[in-house]
Structure 1
Amino acid sequence: MERLVTSGSPLPPALAELLTVLPPFPGNEGDRRVDLAGVPAAEAALGVRLPGDYVEFVALYGAGDIGDHFAIARPFGELTDSPYSPSIVDVTATYREAAEQEDELRYPGRPVTDLVQWGTDDSANSFLWLVTGPDSDAWPVVVNWRSGGFTVHEEGFAAFLLAACRGAVGERPRRFGLEGVRQLLPWREVLQEYEPYPGEFA
């Protein structure tokens, strides 16, 4: 998928539909620009191109929490940032390090470097991309469930979020407490209201 970054071209269908279900937080355009500016540094650190629908999502929403249940990481940040919130680079490094020690975090038959984490929820489930090749727009979303095991969602990031916001994901529906939620709270707003950050990345 060509990177649009809200260029006026039609958005991917799932992302366009997500906008009708989950409107962006008003007045955080500056925060969104800061988050979007971190994409090149994140890609350089991870050695991959991030999926286009995630980049477009960051341009439209920024990173943050949906309904205090579901946290989406910003692309990049420094530990010295004030305020600080975990980035994709940070949480992926932490996940991979843990997966080297815990078999249940390893996707079967794949090296830990094929997993890039982008989110978590208040049940400590981990939401990741499975790196299947150079075309990041073809990467499936995989969920590592705290209760054990993985599920694979071929539809990708935006379609996965859309399904989650509608209350169910996959052939055997899993609910995340997002149905009825009408806004993503940017992570800087989250940090002003809660301490520590409610999306506790593992």
Structure 2
Amino acid sequence: MHPSVARLAAIVPPHPGAGDAIDWAEARCKWGTHFPADYRDFVSVYGGGSINNSFFIGLPLEVAQGPRSPLTFEELNDDGYGLLDLAPEEDPALRGWISWAADCSASHAFWDTSDPDPDKWSTLVLERGGDWVDYDCGMVDFLIGFLTKEISPQPMGMFSPERPTFLNWREVRRLKAEGIDPWPYI
């Protein structure tokens, strides 16, 4: 397990049955790139889902359809760029940037994929107001900094890192089917 994922698991333990299996070769074909080791390990341990029903982490491929299915990178990119009416195909600076998460205030976390080594990709946040903020860290270290308040001010809006809980999309679907509110304290 990637050391950053192990550190994250100590802060936000994954629930039993979390994690998603992704065909990484298919994901590479679809997106034209490999993905960072920390993200691949995150997906195998946590999968697609959300922290406190406020910070939503997507997957590079569709693994399910229907209500409460995980967001895909395609959906995240469309939503993120759509907020500001941006067109990556028209702006060379945006080509290759991939949104891997969004929060409930419509801010989006992207990777800057310009380095051919995915383990060197930094995290960029597109704030709802249109500002881009570059964080010199990968996906999981960004989450850790966010949850531990090592990154200040908080990079994503309307999310409190107090009592962080991650729920995989399948767990949310299961709880809802049983009539249980998966987020009773929010």
Deviation at 1:144?
A: 0.1
Mapped partners of 1:131, 1:37: distance in 2:
20
Give TM-score scaled by structure 1 length. 0.73
Deviation at 1:175?
A: 5.8
Mapped partners of 1:20, 1:111: distance in 2:
36
Q: Counterpart in 2 of 1:184?
A: 166
- Describe how 1:18-97 pairs up with structure 2 within 5 A: 18-26=8-16, 28=17, 32=19, 35-77=20-62, 81-82=65-66, 84-92=69-77, 94-95=78-79
Deviation at 1:122?
A: 0.4
Mapped partners of 2:104, 2:25: distance in 1:
29
Given the superposition, is the C-alpha separation of residues 96 and 61 from structure 1 closer, same or farther in structure 2, using an over 3 Å criterion? Answer: closer
Quick check: 1:121 aligned with 2:103? yes
Secondary structure of 2:95's partner? helix
Q: Indicate if the aligned counterparts of 2:57 and 2:71 stay in contact, CA closer than 8 A.
A: no
Q: Indicate if the aligned counterparts of 1:140 and 1:154 stay in contact, CA closer than 8 A.
A: yes
Q: Indicate if the aligned counterparts of 1:67 and 1:184 stay in contact, CA closer than 8 A.
A: yes
Given the superposition, is the C-alpha separation of residues 15 and 178 from structure 1 closer, same or farther in structure 2, using an over 3 Å criterion? Answer: farther
Q: Indicate if the aligned counterparts of 2:52 and 2:165 stay in contact, CA closer than 8 A.
A: yes
Secondary structure of 1:36's partner? coil
- Any stretches of 5+ residues in structure 1 without a counterpart? 1-5, 195-202
Deviation at 1:95?
A: 4.7
Deviation at 1:118?
A: 0.3
Q: 1:15 aligns with which of 5, 30, 44?
A: 5
- Describe how 1:87-166 pairs up with structure 2 within 5 A: 87-92=72-77, 94-95=78-79, 98=82, 102-103=85-86, 110-166=92-148
Mapped partners of 1:111, 1:56: distance in 2:
28
- Any stretches of 5+ residues in structure 2 without a counterpart? 178-186
Mapped partners of 1:159, 1:189: distance in 2:
24
Q: Indicate if the aligned counterparts of 1:116 and 1:128 stay in contact, CA closer than 8 A.
A: yes
What percent of counterpart residues are identical?
A: 24
Total equivalences in the alignment = 172
| Aligned alpha-carbon RMSD (Å) | 2.7
Give TM-score scaled by structure 2 length. 0.78
Mapped partners of 1:127, 1:97: distance in 2:
11
